[in-house]
Amino acid sequence: MQPDIAAGSVVAVTNLEEFFRGALRSVLADQHVAVDEQTERYVVNMLTLFARAERLYVSTPDGPSLKPLVQMFSDALEAATVAERDLALQRVGDISLFMAGFFLRSFARRLVDVDYHIAMGGRAYGTLASSLERGPRRALAQVFAELAAKFQPLVDALGQISDAAYVYTQRDVLRLYEVWLKTGSVRARRLLRRLGIEAAPVSLRAH
């Protein structure tokens, strides 16, 4: 049975992995987005992992923190071994997808916006897919290639899951319109329509 993730609903969760699996399948179906079973499993495992803050953030003397994405990506490309580089690229993609999907509203107060996370995450997954094509982990190359190709729809899917217990304010409406203009997010446009606003067509710039 899939969980009810309607906006404003309260969901009783006894198993995070099962909740994320049901929620992800529900929103992907709602948004008419299809992903391979292996890709779905990967995203569910990533969400379950990052639900624990200590797996998302890095401990520092000043408290939990995250490096800027551009620094993480640069560190990945300068890694001493291919294995270290691949793991670092995977983390860049995972963090970009998780943050862009679940913390969209917080980007309004930052210099770096959601479109940057989408571009960096897609690039990291794409680079990783190319790296794995001819190695022992080539089966995973298809997963990361699909994550790169469908990064924006997956961000929308995670965002819809995040919306489950959120009530939109007037400021949020303006933020949704800004996101629509920057990324062409299907989710943002649908939410605007639900709130009574018809978003004008936009022409996306190439990332």
pLDDT tens track for 17-74: 888 899 899 999 998 999 999 999 999 999 988 877 777 777 667 766 678 888 899 9
Instruction: Give exposure, 48-83, as e/b (b: 16+ Cβ within 10 Å).
Output: bebbeeeebeeeeeeeeeeeebeebbebbeeeeeee
102 has pLDDT over 90: no
pLDDT tens track for 196-207: 666 666 554 444
Two structure tokens written together for 138: 């080539």
Closest by alpha carbon to 179, among 192, 169, 166? 192
pLDDT tens track for 133-164: 877 777 899 999 999 999 999 999 998 888 76
User: Which has the minimum average pLDDT: 106-115, 120-129, 138-147, 188-197?
Assistant: 106-115
pTM: 0.71
pLDDT tens track for 166-190: 555 666 667 777 777 878 888 788 7
Instruction: Give exposure, 129-167, as e/b (b: 16+ Cβ within 10 Å).
Output: bebbeeeeeeebbebbbbbbbbbbbbbbbbbbbbbbeee
CB distance 156 to 186 below 8 Å: yes
* Mean local confidence (pLDDT), 104-124: 74
